[in-house]
Amino acid sequence: EDIVELDGGKAATISFPEENDMTKFIVKVAVDTGLWKGASYDFSFKIPPQMYPHDPPKVQCLTKIYHPNIDLDGNVCLNILREDWKPVLDINSVIYGLIYLFYEPNPDDPLNKAEAAELFRNDPKQFSAVVHRSLRGYSVQGIEFEQLI
């Protein structure tokens, strides 16, 4: 039922790699403002068939990104994917939550703790420069990033 109503607005498009499996799909997020504008980011969604909506979907960022709330393995730190999940929430809530992370990163709930969140908090100008370097395909602290813009 949720799948039929998916709507990421202009910032997200949804595709189903396996047309017979509606429990797995890709959401491509592309924001038009902010530090991550100009590129698109793929997120895989896996809906636990027996457990949804009591358990949240499993979401992974497939695009390597320098972000306080997404680690280099693609794990996403979004409160509604963890302790704040409620069965009344739907897939659209998660999609909009992901989009919101690109507009308003949350350094107080970081996954990329060691450095991205601290830099975001302590030196926003330098953080912005590092994000731009990563989007242009440069390595950041020895970590290679794919050119996205």
How many whole angstroms separate alpha carbon 47 and alpha carbon 108?
27
How many whole angstroms separate alpha carbon 125 and alpha carbon 128?
5
CATH number at residue 108: 3.10.110.10
Q: What is the tally of structural domains in the chain? A: 1
Number of Cβ atoms within 10 Å of the Cβ of 33: 9
Residue 142, in any domain of the structure:
no
**Annotated catalytic residue within 11, 70, 77, 81:** 77
pLDDT given for residue 2 in this prediction: 56
Q: Which run of H or E residues covers position 120?
A: helix 118-122
Residue 58, SS3 per DSSP:
strand
pLDDT tens for each residue of 53-67:
999 999 999 999 999
How many whole angstroms separate alpha carbon 19 and alpha carbon 2?
16
Residue 74 structural domain: 3-135
Residue 141, in any domain of the structure:
no
pTM: 0.91
pLDDT tens for each residue of 116-142:
889 999 999 999 999 999 999 999 989
Q: Would residue 77 show up in a list of annotated catalytic residues for this protein?
A: yes
pLDDT of residue 6 exceeding 60, the answer is no
How many whole angstroms separate alpha carbon 128 and alpha carbon 133?
9
